Structure 1
Amino acid sequence: MANVVIVGAQWGDEGKGKIVDLLTEQADVVARFQGGNNAGHTLVVDGVKYVLHLIPSGILREGKVSMIGNGVVLDPGVFIQEIDELLALGVPVTGDSLKLSNRMHLIMPYHKALDAARESKRAGGKIGTTGRGIGPAYEDKVGRRGIRLGDLYNRELFDAKLQENLEFVNFLMANYYEGFESFDFKTVREELLGQAERLRQYVTDTGPWLNDQIDSGKQVLFEGAQGALLDVDHGTYPYVTSSVTGSANACAGTGVGPKRIDYVMAICKAYTTRVGGGPFPTELFDEDGKHLGEKGHEFGATTGRPRRCGWLDAVVVRHSARMSGMDGIALTKLDVLDGMQTIKVCVAYDLDGETIDYMPGDIEELARCKPIYEEFPGWSESTVGCKDMADLPEAARNYIANVERLLGAPVAILSTGPDRNETLIRTNPFS
């Protein structure tokens, strides 16, 4: 029996959805532990494309249970839409196959308005938020004024919280922000209570439920959103998300103890991408960067925004390893490097003439860092769909070996295409 945590090792968009979907075959429960619908997983299963934002990809596997934990912030309308889209594709979504924590906080309509208003007011200093209300929802959570999913079924409590919050939000809209309408209590209330009835069958106290599953011998796959460099504490602050994205939050975000985690798998692209603002030392603006963006189809699954592309940054991934622990790496999108004459990996930074092998915590220092590269020969052969190391070009095997050396962890899984079957498994984290 083993319980495995999946985390992103870069700025998100590493291909976690496919790896989670692959490993779900051996898990009994897939538990999402942080983030909101600012995440996006694109999966291709038997030629059918699925884009998930909230629901774990375990929902696509018959007999598995997907769980969204207390560390997630939930937009009820987006969640219901995602359920309806899955039902239209013939995927059953019932209270037996999907559990929602009654302790998770809700993204309210006014959170999205606050998100947009703040980003607009920042002018030249925009963070690059998705505008989905994630940050304001987490602010209300830590400010102890948040509305939790379970509150929807306590009408008196819900009404009191909503009334108090709307008084504050409407004051801001009228006196600080410009061009944003106020919110009507009755309209917001009726919308949320209507959504509550659609959600009722999925709601439970998932912490005790999940511990009971582990006690009975079930295997759990803990799924994070975003990536380590977007962690609110250890990422490129303030160009980060609003939650802890590292493996430690698998426990806090679901209600299990740390001794119940057996293996941490870091998902890492064979190159690097990020969306939004903030420093990106290995970002490319040349033909190599164009190749990575076009061949890798680098557009956000949630936002549709083009991703910034660059060479693999070993300094970044080693930083991720320190904060999350890293028993093994799932290296994704190796096939995107096919046809490149030379491939580079950043092994250190030049910061004002000094060589450093760590990521500075000061955002302005990181912006001044220049990458120091090791270069490796590329390959012209296709790696798409390779399922055995012996089938890979020698130069590709050499690249993988050097990635392991530079990152300090073995490549346990290698993804060579978008489909579930285009994967090479070297080490099974559940074994």
Structure 2
Amino acid sequence: MRSIAVIGKNFGDEGKGLAVASLSRVLGKPLIIKHNGGAQAGHTVEDAAATWRFVHHQIGAGAEYGAPTLFAEHYMPDLYQLGKEVADFTRLFGFVPLLYSEKTARATTIDDVLLNMGAEAARGDARHGSCGMGIDECVQRNRAGYGLRVEEVAAWSETEFLERLREIRTHYTKERAAVLGIDRENPYFALSENDTVLQNYVAEVKANIGRLTLVDANPDWLLQFEHLIFESGQGLLLDEDYEAYAPHLTSSKTGMHNPARFLEKRGLTLDEAIYVTRSYVTRHGEGPLPCEVKRSELPGVGEDLTNQPNEWQGTLRYARHESMDAFFAPPKRDKDSVQMFSSARDTKLSILITHLNETGKRLYFEEGEVSFERVRKEGERRGIKCMERLETEL
């Protein structure tokens, strides 16, 4: 069994969906493992002729090639949104994707989403750049002792589930809203008190939970697969522990940590970590962006069809890469951070560079345009393989 982690090297939107789909298409018996964040991911996959295009939020990128998806313990699925995504996928591809979940995965709730949206609205010009999908609020609620596991959602009746959400709303949500400065003037306050909102949420989630097959994901169960592909959400520079860009971070570990921990518990190893980056840098949301420029200052770079302007993250921003040292530093730092896991001590590091077709096989650095070949040779010197396509270079 071979294990590969696909990780965004920068601030997200690098092409992780393309990478995971490419691996799923060419590797035998793959399992896509979603291990961090939740439905805020938007991983785009399209065929070479651009006859179809699908944006994956929770279904693993590569499911269109028959690869099943596993929601690992540290993933936070949005079971309300899942139904629409499955329906859209089935309509486009003609079959229902196979979805598994560890029983202990933490479900996000409608109140997590409303608190997230309300908090961002209350911050005004000081927004954190959240996607408004409730990920941090799910984390905070679990830390406060009001967790909600997927196995519980599956086991409860609609009445039991509704009562649990009412209990959480009474004993946690109201207090949390006050801490976040969400008052009656906030557009999301009334929704967080509306019981019909909870009832509709419960009905939809109970209709969707049957789309998941709950499993223990132990070593024996994993033996049916030849390749484990860890599909990371967001980017390495948004990791919850990367303090340089706080508070504009995501509330999850976006690098090797979760895959290494998952494999360590099962006596397995992480063979390779593939860090994905565009030939330039993007950031969707608030926060620092070194070497930021206008898109028009990057020759050949076209409009991004997935990351359109929205209320929560504004407009996609663009930048050049910094120095060559800064380009190669994140993977090395990420591997150093997981040396407590024997599963990651011999992991090979690679960098996949996407969007080279836009930039004529050049990368845009602060110093100017740099050929892919020069970057590849510099990577060899540093012990990191640089690739421009996965199908032929694995």
Shorter-chain TM-score range? 0.7 to 0.9
Match of residue 271 from structure 1 = 280
Distance 1:151 1:136 in 2: 19
The alpha-carbon deviation at position 13 of structure 1 amounts to 0.6
**Which blocks of at least 5 consecutive residues in structure 1 are unaligned?**
347-372, 378-394, 416-422
Match of residue 308 from structure 1 = 317
**Contact in 1 for aligned 2:31/2:225 (Cα 8 Å):** no
Match among 212, 223, 227 for residue 219 of structure 1 = 227
Using structure 1 for the length normalisation, give the TM-score: 0.75
The alpha-carbon deviation at position 332 of structure 1 amounts to 0.8
The alpha-carbon deviation at position 254 of structure 1 amounts to 8.0
**Contact in 1 for aligned 2:31/2:69 (Cα 8 Å):** yes
The alpha-carbon deviation at position 198 of structure 1 amounts to 2.9
Match of residue 217 from structure 2 = 207
Closer, same or farther in 2 for the Cα pair 1:33/1:237, shift >3 Å?
same
SS in 2 for 1:273: strand
SS in 2 for 1:89: helix
The alpha-carbon deviation at position 137 of structure 1 amounts to 1.1
Match of residue 409 from structure 1 = 384
Within a 5 Å distance, the mapping from 1:121-270 to structure 2 comes to: 121-152=122-153, 153-155=155-157, 158-159=161-162, 161-167=164-170, 168-170=172-174, 176-177=182-183, 178-179=185-186, 180-181=189-190, 182-185=192-195, 187-189=197-199, 191-208=201-218, 211-216=219-224, 218-234=226-242, 236-252=245-261, 256-257=265-266, 259-270=268-279
Distance 1:254 1:157 in 2: 35
Per-residue deviation, residues 233-276 of structure 1 (Å, max 9, x unmatched): 12522111111101111244688447431111111211111111
Match of residue 57 from structure 2 = 53
SS in 1 for 2:233: coil
Q: Match of 2:193, as an amino acid?
A: F
Larger Cα-atom Rg: 1
**Which blocks of at least 5 consecutive residues in structure 2 are unaligned?**
336-346
Distance 1:65 1:87 in 2: 14
Quick one: percent identity of the two aligned structures? 20
Within a 5 Å distance, the mapping from 1:321-360 to structure 2 comes to: 321-324=332-335, 327-338=349-360, 344-346=364-366
Distance 1:255 1:144 in 2: 26
Within a 5 Å distance, the mapping from 1:12-23 to structure 2 comes to: 12-23=12-23
**Contact in 1 for aligned 2:309/2:316 (Cα 8 Å):** no
Closer, same or farther in 2 for the Cα pair 1:68/1:49, shift >3 Å?
same
User: Matched residue pairs, number?
Assistant: 365
The alpha-carbon deviation at position 285 of structure 1 amounts to 3.6
SS in 2 for 1:106: coil
Distance 1:201 1:310 in 2: 40
Match of residue 41 from structure 1 = 43
Distance 1:54 1:193 in 2: 20
Q: Match of 1:322, as an amino acid?
A: R
Distance 2:89 2:295 in 1: 39
Distance 2:369 2:138 in 1: 45
**Contact in 1 for aligned 2:6/2:231 (Cα 8 Å):** yes
Q: Match of 1:221, as an amino acid?
A: I
Using structure 2 for the length normalisation, give the TM-score: 0.82
Match of residue 8 from structure 1 = 8
Match of residue 297 from structure 1 = 304
The alpha-carbon deviation at position 408 of structure 1 amounts to 4.9
Within the alignment, does 1:67 sit opposite 2:70 as a pair? yes
**Contact in 2 for aligned 1:40/1:301 (Cα 8 Å):** no
Match of residue 109 from structure 2 = 108
Distance 1:399 1:28 in 2: 30
The alpha-carbon deviation at position 339 of structure 1 amounts to 9.3
The alpha-carbon deviation at position 287 of structure 1 amounts to 3.9
SS in 2 for 1:207: coil
The alpha-carbon deviation at position 112 of structure 1 amounts to 1.4
Closer, same or farther in 2 for the Cα pair 1:279/1:187, shift >3 Å?
closer
- Structural RMSD (CA): 3.0
